[in-house]
Amino acid sequence: MLTVSTVNVNGLRAAAKKGFTEWFGATGADVVACQEVRAAPDDLPAALREPDGWHAVHADCSVKGRNGVSLYSRAEPEATRLGFGAAEFEDSGRYAEMWLPGVVVASLYLPSGDVGTPRQDEKERFMAAFLPYLSELRGKAAADGREVLVVGDWNIAHAEIDLKNWKANRKNSGFLPEEREWLGRVFDEAGYVDVQRRLDPDGPGPYTWWSYRGRAFDNDSGWRIDYQVATPGLAGRAETATVERAPSYDLRWSDHAPLTVTYRS
């Protein structure tokens, strides 16, 4: 079996003080992917930079305190990569991958965007550059006898069943028609599979992110923006997908919850 967990930690050092360290110590996952780490590797405590029993890679952002993704694997990777070859985003701390036996696993933090601002323009440029890479990666991995699994915070809710208040968000970043269409191209054109939706096609949710504002968490008024996106062979081996939602608001250590999927070997 291969168990993979992904979570946007909303600042790894802060999350560690609120419960992430205990969650990480108890996880049965073989691979853990983190996004929005917001720290350079040297700024992380040793227990998170190089945990005992794990192999870790960290892609930090050139702008201090921004972005950042990490990958932890119990198995030693045969190769690693930070960034996906687009010059604008190489030092942005948004992508890291490990080549593991039989599979390439990547941690992705896609820009969040904000309509009418440069942040949305950045998001669109990222998407335009990343889609060809996904196709390229699938081809390279297949030639090497491997599946591909890209997990993380994709910052797009693909369908109406992927967020509670979809009607009110049709003109907001994260649920724009062009963003949803792009994610559809990841599935249709690049040939990847939304693993959680394959296992639970009807929804609604389960959501993975809830705003800290108001009572969004208590009312389960969330968004499903954290995905495990796999090539068809691996997706077909997925057995369970679980959102590890905190039992109560006060026990949250991030505004996201881990998405954990188990795959047959």
Residue 39 pLDDT: 96
Q: What is the 3-state secondary structure (H, E, C) of the chain?
A: CEEEEEEECCCHHHHHHHCHHHHHHHCCCCEEEEECCCCCHHHCCHHHHCCCCCEEEEECECCCCCCCEEEEECCCCCEEEECCCCHHHCCECCEEEEEECCEEEEEEECCCCCCCCHHHHHHHHHHHHHHHHHHHHHHHHHHCCCEEEEEEECCCCCCHHHECCCHHHCCCCCCCHHHHHHHHHHHHCCCCEEHHHHHCCCCCCCCCECCCCCCCCCCCCCECCEEEEECHHHHCCEEEEEECCCCCHHHCCCCECCEEEEECC
Round to whole Å and give the CA distance between 105 and 113. 25
Q: What is the pLDDT along the chain (265 residues), one digit of tens a residue?
A: 999 999 999 999 999 999 999 999 999 999 999 999 999 999 999 999 999 999 999 999 999 999 999 999 999 999 999 999 999 999 999 999 999 999 999 999 999 999 999 999 999 999 999 999 999 999 999 999 999 999 999 999 999 999 999 999 999 999 999 999 999 999 999 999 999 999 999 999 999 999 998 899 999 999 999 999 999 999 999 999 999 999 999 999 999 999 999 999 8
Residue pair 204/164 in contact by the 8 Å Cβ criterion: yes
Burial of 55 (0-12, 13-18, 19+ CB in 10 A): middle
**Angle, CA 237 vertex, CA 152 and CA 96 arms, to 5°:** 25
The values of phi and psi at residue 89, to 5°, are: -110, 5
In terms of pTM, does the model score above 0.95?
A: yes
Positions marked catalytic: 153
